[in-house]
Structure 1
Amino acid sequence: MSLEARIQHVKERIEAACQRAGRAKEDVRVIAVTKYVSLEATESVLDHGLVHIGENRWQNAEHKWNALGNRGVWHFIGHLQTNKVKDVIGKFEYIHSLDRMSLAEELEKKAALLDLRQKVFVQVNVSGEESKYGLSPEQLPSFIKKISNFPHIDIVGLMTMAPFEGNPEETRPVFKGLRELRDEINAQGLTREPLKHLSMGMSNDFEVAIEEGATWVRLGSILVGKEEESR
């Protein structure tokens, strides 16, 4: 299937999921996850009008960003090591994986030096899987309250990763849980501005995530395909 055909296929599935949930399709934005594809394939994604690009490791993203960074909106979606903040700050408009205080402090420090405001999603391990990064739901309110006072960090929403399930319907409680956590944070008024966004849902389960309120879905294999780079 061509990239153009995959984009159309995904668009139709997103629209159907929004219709089932009574949501406007414009409320859902797609991040094209290009971590498994080449520079040329990433350029093709941008050529086809997909603006949001997702990468999870700076060492794999660097050459793509150097070539194409001025063309799209870049999202860092992987686990971010504190010593890599200096590499991604100022390049990735969104960081989806803020999950600990040491990382928040380093982001604040580096953003202050560059005089910018870094948009972040706080990562929550809703499923409780040991293999997943993220704060526990119980840790979230106090963490949010503390970093809301950081002047160079803008918390725009929450992110989670659901377990990979053969039946995507089994992921629904995870996505519902993240939405409820966001609503609780907003009800408590813990942030400067209400949290609007939920970054959740990937190729295997994005329709369920949309039905439960996802505003950003992170799509790799179903959208851009998968290839190992030959470098």
Structure 2
Amino acid sequence: MKTSNNRSIFLGLALILLIVATFMIVSLNYLFDTKVIPSSSVKNLNINGFFLSKSLPLASVKFVSTDESLVSTDAFKNHWTLLALGYTQCPDICPMTLLKLDNVLSNIPIDERPKIAFLSIDIAPENIEKLNDYMEYFNKDFIGLSTTKAQLGDFFSSLGASYSIKKSESGSLDIEHSSSIFLISPDKNYVANFPYMLTAEQISQDYLAITR
């Protein structure tokens, strides 16, 4: 009889703990939702990437650009933009991302294609001629961007992105950065991102699902 009572008490406590844990999880999710949670179910979209439940305004910055049509945050207005982050000496992720974006464009009807921009984290600032040559290697319509260290930090923060540049013991630079592709809306807001592992076909499908 005593064992039965102890078991009932144990089960009761376990149930209470389960209810409390569930409440805490729901509460945390709500708090994160108010800070913008990536969600592929928003707007009933069934996409491979992440569509933000609330779009984020971009930090106001000025760029050194390979194209005069995109020299500041304000210039993102009135057109869709797919934005990649990286640097010209990147050995793998950046060139693969730009090749992927070239394929993304080929999967989208000409009259619906976004602008493609690549923001360099080289804090030189990036030699604009070198950046232009780098863009043209992948696609002559790609736009290369560079900015100051302070503005770069602000812009990355508005995307929820990050980067780091550290000097190794050998004296070489170790550079890391967010590898997602970011979708900027015609009202200059960050609205979605596509992780590096997605294919060009998946990204183009997502883009059309969001923009149509």
TM over 0.5: no
- Structure with greater contact order relative to length (CA < 8 Å, sep ≥ 6): 2
